[in-house]
Amino acid sequence: IVEDTIYISGDIGEDLVIFALDLNGKEKWRTTNGNAWKKSHPGSRCSGCYDDGRLYFMNAHGRLACLNAVDGKEIWAVGILETFESKNITWGISESLLVDERAVFVTPVGKQALMAALDKKTGKTLWTTPALPDEQVTYSSPILVELGGKRQLISCGTKTVFGVDSVTGALLWQHPHVIPGWVVGASPVYADGSVYISNSTKDIGRVYRLRIDGDTPEIAWTAEMGDTYAGNVVCVNNMVFGSRKSNLKGW
């Protein structure tokens, strides 16, 4: 929601549709961003990101579109999977985008880039982070934090959690984060120099605190937390909370 406009998306027929509504639910405009997701669990996935009069949105097939937030007209679009030689995953690309002063960030985890920054005005590539061997794109979204005097992006592949310099794209650190089945649905959570990562695997779910110190992160502790499958853990007032998908459902 931005001022008096609600931006929301959904699939209609063959199309991924983005809507702008006023606060009473009246439609201001609608536009499309490529094809709908017809495979397992149909529907829209990613949240849009508003910045300086523009709306950024990525569909489940990796099509990133920049729209004029006033009328929905497309300004530019980039196929992330094709551009960075990545492959889609079982339930479709689900990354919600991050935008800063000059760039929109994506995590294609492809042969040509682990992460990438695109000029938010033109869609042109500003930098790429070199690929990590045998990594694959996940369902999680990156976060942007300031740590050690640097603004860094923190995100996950299917085997690794990593930090990337938001200005240069340099890989600052990485740490193993291997989950049987390779389903990473939760985003990292940052608090007080540490990153909290949840393992979404059924029956062996856990959360661990990864203390970030330069390029040599280390695990401070690990605790059981069920199968925090698709939602994040959260850190509030020095307490870490998570919820289970099956068996003992709830917080």
Residue appearing with tokens 């690929």? 131
- For residue 76, the cross-strand partners are 66
Work out the average pLDDT over 123-144.
93
What percentage of the chain carries pLDDT values higher than 70? 91
- List pLDDT tens digits, range 209-225: 888 877 889 989 888 77
Work out the average pLDDT over 9-34.
97
Round to whole Å and give the CA distance between 154 and 223.
Answer: 21
| Helix (H) or strand (E) run with residue 81 in it | helix 80-83
Round to whole Å and give the CA distance between 244 and 251.
Answer: 7
DSSP 163-211: EEETTT--EEEEEE---TT-------EEETTEEEEEE--TTS-EEEEEE
Residue type, 171: L
Give the predicted TM-score (pTM) of the model. Answer: 0.92
pLDDT at residue 147 above 80? yes
User: What pLDDT sits at residue 235?
Assistant: 87
Dihedral angle, C-alpha 145, 129, 55, 61, nearest 10 °: -120
What backbone phi and psi angles, to 5 degrees, belong to 121? -90, -30
Alpha helices in 9-154 (DSSP H): 80-83
User: What pLDDT sits at residue 9?
Assistant: 96
**pLDDT band per the 50, 70, 90 thresholds, residue 180:** low
Least confident piece of the model among 19-28, 57-66, 90-99, 196-205: 196-205
Decide if 14 contacts 20 (C-beta within 8 A).
no
Decide if 136 contacts 109 (C-beta within 8 A).
yes
User: What pLDDT sits at residue 203?
Assistant: 58
- List pLDDT tens digits, range 53-99: 999 999 999 999 999 999 999 999 999 999 999 999 999 999 999 99
